[in-house]
Amino acid sequence: MLVTGVKTFQTGLRFALLFSLLPTTSTNLLGKAPARAPASARVTISVYNDAEVPADVLKLAENEASQVFRLAGIEVTWLNCRLPAVSEEASRDCREAVFPEHLHLRIVRRSLGLKGETMGISFQADDGSGCYADLFYEPMEQLHQSDGADIASLLAHVAAHEIGHLLLGTNSHSTEGIMHAHWTAQELALGKVGGLVFLEKESQRMKAKLATAFQASKEASLTAAAAVPARTGD
Ligand SMILES: [Zn+2]
């Protein structure tokens, strides 16, 4: 889950912090040119845009969230899903949910039961597995209007945070970085310049989970292939 404490900051302080943090984050970002992730570190995300986020905002947000995951060594494929689907094949691809390699994000206007400033929530079983997360667009719009937060960037980081929960399992909040439960104004400012990211240990944990699942499905398909009786040729 993610709420933000940004409203407690004064505008002057926010800009001062942004200015002072810029040089280090820019260096970190430019100094790390990620290579394409291996097949064992890829995740597909079906996106249901029930909140009718403008297409250009959604595209920007997906690109920025991809970059956050790329820095963690993970490649994201986004499926923008519509109802009704454009084709039976698209519908099938969108509906598929496989933990942890195919997850679902639903963007809705607001939460029905959570506090007003909550921007997202993920749904996980006791064992930490779960394919579904919801994002709440109205609180993001409010923050955009009140504090000038970049809405695409905000959406990107909230999406990455909730997907992070799904890939990291239970108790995955951190005291810093993108998995911090309550973002401060300076963290949001960092996000805008690519500095609100996963910690190294979180990146390793997510990649390990994806790699384990990748290996298991590879072995399962080899077992299935071996079970098919060989043709004798006569
Ligand atoms: Zn959270």
Residue 91 token pair: 């519908």
For position 10, what pLDDT does the model report? 28
For position 232, what pLDDT does the model report? 54
pLDDT, tens only, 120-177: 999 999 999 999 999 999 999 999 999 889 999 999 999 999 999 999 999 999 999 9
Domain locations along the chain: 3-219
CA of 159 to the centre of ligand 1 (A): 10
CA of 99 to the centre of ligand 1 (A): 19
Residue 175 token pair: 């005291």
Strands 120-123 and 132-136: antiparallel
- The one-letter amino acid code at 234 reads D
- Please provide the size of the chain in residues: 234
For position 231, what pLDDT does the model report? 60
For the chain, list residues with pLDDT below 50.
Answer: 5-31
- The one-letter amino acid code at 155 reads L
Q: What is 3-219's CATH number?
A: 3.40.390.10
DSSP state letter for 39: G
CA gap 134, 122 in Å, rounded:
6
The CA–CA distances, whole Å, from 51 to 22, 64, 195 equal 32, 19, 27
Q: Considering the entire predicted model, what is its pTM?
A: 0.83
CA of 110 to the centre of ligand 1 (A): 16
CA of 223 to the centre of ligand 1 (A): 38
CA of 165 to the centre of ligand 1 (A): 7
